[in-house]
């Protein structure tokens, strides 16, 4: 299974959190300088990217990294590393832009928007893929539940979750999945794989022809009076 980019992103997020913890012991909050803070973005646009690698606490990190490994490895294996990274960073970027609009005076951080982009792309390409959520359920059902939670969260004045970023990231991923759906259709891939398995190389074909031609000659000679 191709998962190099997924594992690299997992490593970067984990190492970044370790650095956050280290600097916190020195009473330095690096999130203050690298998290998404809308008033600072015009002069520090790098925050739109760096915020994706920061997390509020260990529970926040664990939740996001579990989802990254679970869905990221499947998607990267399906569409390849280049497209996977396009989904991740584009969804994360658009999610952060949506966060700037929805939460203009708040600090935001986390890989959730990017990961929701992965989920959005995967639910278009493999809607009935089974995932474990208290029991095996189709991915499309789980995503529908998450959409409901995020939409409700937007109207909750006490919510501290970046619901708008989640929905924006999910939308970007779903949009890209729709563009690529024809290419990665499950039935077409299965038929292509089946055809590939029965195809012979030029060298194999020549050996096959030679072998059967010799058998035919032997049969022909043996039948002659």
* pLDDT value for 91: 97
Q: What residues are paired with 138 via a beta bridge?
A: 130
The CATH number of 4-184, from 1.20.1540.10, 1.10.645.10, 3.40.50.620, 1.10.10.10, is 1.20.1540.10
Q: What is the mean pLDDT of the chain?
A: 86
pTM for the whole structure: 0.81
Domain boundaries of the chain, sorted by first residue:
4-184, 188-223
- Torsional sign, CA 212, 213, 219, 222: negative
Q: How many CB atoms lie within 10 A of CB 141?
A: 13
Per-residue pLDDT tens over the stretch 167-196: 999 999 999 999 999 888 765 655 555 455
Per-residue pLDDT tens over the stretch 138-149: 999 999 999 999
| Extended beta strands in 66-169, E state | 130-132, 136-138
Considering only CA atoms, which of 108, 122, 118, 120 is closest in space to residue 52?
108
Give the pLDDT band of residue 3 (cuts 50, 70, 90). confident
């Amino acid at each position: 299974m191709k998962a190099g980019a997924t594992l690299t992103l997992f490593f970067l997020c984990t190492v970044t959190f370790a650095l956050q913890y280290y600097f916190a012991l020195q009473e330095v909050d690096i999130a203050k300088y690298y998290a998404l803070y809308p008033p600072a973005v015009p002069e520090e646009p790098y925050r739109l990217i760096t915020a994706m690698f920061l997390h509020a606490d260990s529970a926040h990190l664990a939740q996001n990294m579990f989802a990254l490994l679970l869905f990221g490895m499947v998607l990267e294996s399906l569409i390849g590393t280049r497209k996977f990274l396009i989904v991740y960073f584009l969804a994360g970027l658009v999610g952060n832009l949506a966060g700037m609009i929805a939460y203009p005076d708040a600090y935001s951080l986390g890989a959730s928007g990017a990961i929701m982009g992965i989920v959005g792309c995967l639910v278009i390409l493999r809607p009935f893929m089974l995932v474990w959520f208290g029991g095996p359920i189709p991915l499309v059902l789980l995503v529908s539940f998450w959409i409901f939670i995020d939409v409700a969260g937007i109207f909750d004045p006490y919510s501290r979750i970046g619901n708008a970023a989640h929905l924006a990231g999910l939308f970007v991923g779903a949009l890209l999945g729709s563009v690529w759906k024809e290419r990665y259709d499950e039935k077409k891939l299965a038929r292509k794989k089946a055809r590939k398995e029965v195809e012979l190389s030029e060298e194999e074909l020549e050996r096959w022809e030679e072998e059967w031609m010799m058998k035919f000659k032997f049969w022909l000679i043996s039948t002659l009076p």
